[in-house]
Amino acid sequence: MLASIEILNWCKEHKYFYPEYLACLLSKFTPDLDELNSWNIKQLPTDGVSKNFEINDTYYEVRSLADIVEELDYYKQSIIQDSKEEIPEEYRKYIDWDKFFKDNPITINMFVEDLEHITFCGVDYYIYGD
């Protein structure tokens, strides 16, 4: 079984674009070096939030807590932006968005409830996999 730093170094040596994300995912399986070298690992295009991988034909998405917080902020901004189409300007100017989001909280848990949590090298990651 490889230590976290050894898995991270292996990912860096193999020049994966998001070595920390892949190393976190690989640490879930606790492989030894021979096993790791035998796996078919593909880095798939990112969707802007998740870093996507395929390991032995199984699809995985990996997100850091920072990615999820950024997604949460984007989601709030999209609600405000969408209000421009649905609420006339003369009424929208009276909306207290801070109060709205306090009364209608959008939490990180809404984004991670079906994801597996892993702390890797002191960073929180969330994984979705088939």
Long-range Cβ contact pairs of 112-118 (< 8 A, separation 24 or more):
112/68, 115/63, 116/28, 118/24, 118/27, 118/28
For residue 130, what pLDDT is reported? 61
Give pTM, 2 decimals: 0.78
Residue 97: CB atoms within 10 A of its CB come to: 13
Q: Where are the domains of the chain?
A: 4-64+112-129, 66-109
pLDDT tens figures, 37-68:
999 999 999 877 789 999 999 999 999 988 88
- H or E, element range at 56: none
List pLDDT tens digits, range 77-119.
999 999 888 899 899 889 999 999 999 988 888 878 778 888 8
